[in-house]
Amino acid sequence: MSPPRHRRLLPVTIHNQCLLIDASQVVTVEQGDRVQRNPSGGSLHGWLLGSLDGATVFALASILELGAAPRTDSGSIVVLSRSNGEMWGLMVDQVGSSFEASSDAIHPLDGAMGAATFSALVDIAPDPLLLLASEHLHPDDARAALPVETQPPQPHPDRPIADQTTSPRMLWISIDAERHLHVGLSLKQVVEIREPLPVATLPGPGTNSALTGFVVYDGQALPTASLGQLYGIVEPNGTASRLLIARCTRTARRVGLPIFGETRLVELPITHRVEIPQPEVAVWIRGCFQIDDGALLVPDLDAMLG
C-alpha cells in the first residue's frame, strides 16, 4: 500500500480567523510595510517594493468582503504566482508556519458551494479550516471563475409540495418559540440528529447568506446552513444543541442544520398552505403553512446551498 500523499499548507489570519493557502503557490512572504499604498482604497492595497517591484497587492479582507478593521501593525504580504507567471500579493494580518496535511484530511468543496473563494475543507485539530482557492483569488482570475447563476424552479403557490420526499409527517424545528416561528422538514429528508461538530465558519458573506460554514461528516466536507435566515434571525455561533443532517430534495447533496430550539414530530395537513411571508428569502422556501398563531416554513435546501 502506497503511503498517503501530503500537501504543504500555509496558515494565514485575517480578522481573527485562520484560513489556509496552498504553499506550493507561495513564492515568499514579505513585511506589510514594503508596500506603496494605493490612495484610492478598495481591494487593491498597493504595489510591492523591492525585488518584486511593482507586483500588485490585494487585501484579503476586501476580497472576502469583511470590510476594514483597525490595524496595530503593518501585517504581512503573501506573494503568489499566477498561472501566467505574474507575481502578486495578498495582504493578511499574520502568517503562521507551514505544515503538511495528508490528502486524506483534505475534503474538496462542491463547486457551487465553494464558488471561487474556497477549494477544500482541511480536517485538522482542534477545528477544521478552509483552504483558499489561491488560483481564483486574483480579481482577474475570480471574474473568469464565477459560476453561472441559475434560479431553482419554484413551486406554484396554489399547489401542494410534490416530490418523492414530501410527507405530511414532518420534523418540527422551533426557530423562535415566542413568535411561533417554526421550520418543518419531511421525515424522509432526515439522515441523523447528532451532537454538534466543529464548524469551519465562512469569514465573509460568500455566495449565499444562508450558508454558514462546513463540517467534516462521513469523510466529506458537509455544508452547514442557517434555518434562522428564513426569518431574518442571526443564529449565534457555537451554541447549537444538536446538528441535523438532512437530505436535499432535488439532488443527492446533504447539509448540516444547527438546531437551537426544540424539535418534535407533527402531522401536517397540506390544505393549510399559505403565501410565503418573507419575499426577500422566498427563493429558499418551498412552502409555508399557517399553524396556531404563527407560521411553519418548509425550506428548499438545494436553494439554500446555492
**pLDDT (tens digit, 0 to 9) for every residue of the chain, 306 residues total?**
455 588 999 999 998 899 999 999 999 999 998 999 888 877 788 999 887 777 999 999 888 888 766 566 789 999 999 888 889 999 999 999 999 999 999 999 876 565 568 999 999 999 999 999 988 888 887 666 555 444 443 443 433 343 444 446 789 899 888 888 889 999 999 999 999 999 998 886 555 678 889 999 999 999 999 999 888 888 877 788 999 999 999 888 999 999 998 898 877 655 556 666 666 778 888 888 777 767 788 899 998 887
Determine the pLDDT at residue 114.
Answer: 54
The CA distance from 40 to 38, in Å, is: 5
212 by DSSP, 3-state: which? Answer: strand
Domain boundaries, the chain: 6-145, 169-304
Q: What is the rounded end-to-end Cα distance, in angstroms, of the chain?
A: 39
Q: Specify the pLDDT at position 148.
A: 44
Name the superfamily (CATH) of residues 6-145: CheA-289, Domain 4 (2.40.50.180)
Do 167 and 281 form a contact (C-beta atoms < 8 A)?
no
H or E segment and range at residue 9:
strand 6-14
Say yes or no: do domains 6-145 and 169-304 share a fold. Answer: yes
131: phi then psi, degrees, rounded to nearest 5: -95, 120
CATH number among 3.40.50.12240, 3.30.460.10, 2.40.50.180, 2.40.50.100, domain 169-304: 2.40.50.180
Return phi, psi of residue 136, to 5°.
Answer: -115, 5
pLDDT of residue 145: 56
Q: Looking at the whole model, is its pTM more than 0.85?
A: no
Q: What is the pLDDT of residue 149?
A: 44
Query: Going by DSSP bridges, is the β-strand pair 87-92/56-59 parallel, antiparallel, or unpaired?
Result: parallel
Helix spans in the chain (H): 60-63, 111-114, 139-145, 301-304
Antiparallel, parallel or unpaired: β 190-194 and 242-247: antiparallel
At which residue does the C-alpha cell 418551498 appear? 286
How far lies 245's CA from each of 94, 163, 204, 268, in Å?
A: 35, 19, 23, 21
Element (H, E) at 240: none
Q: Which three cell numbers stand for residue 83?
A: 498561472
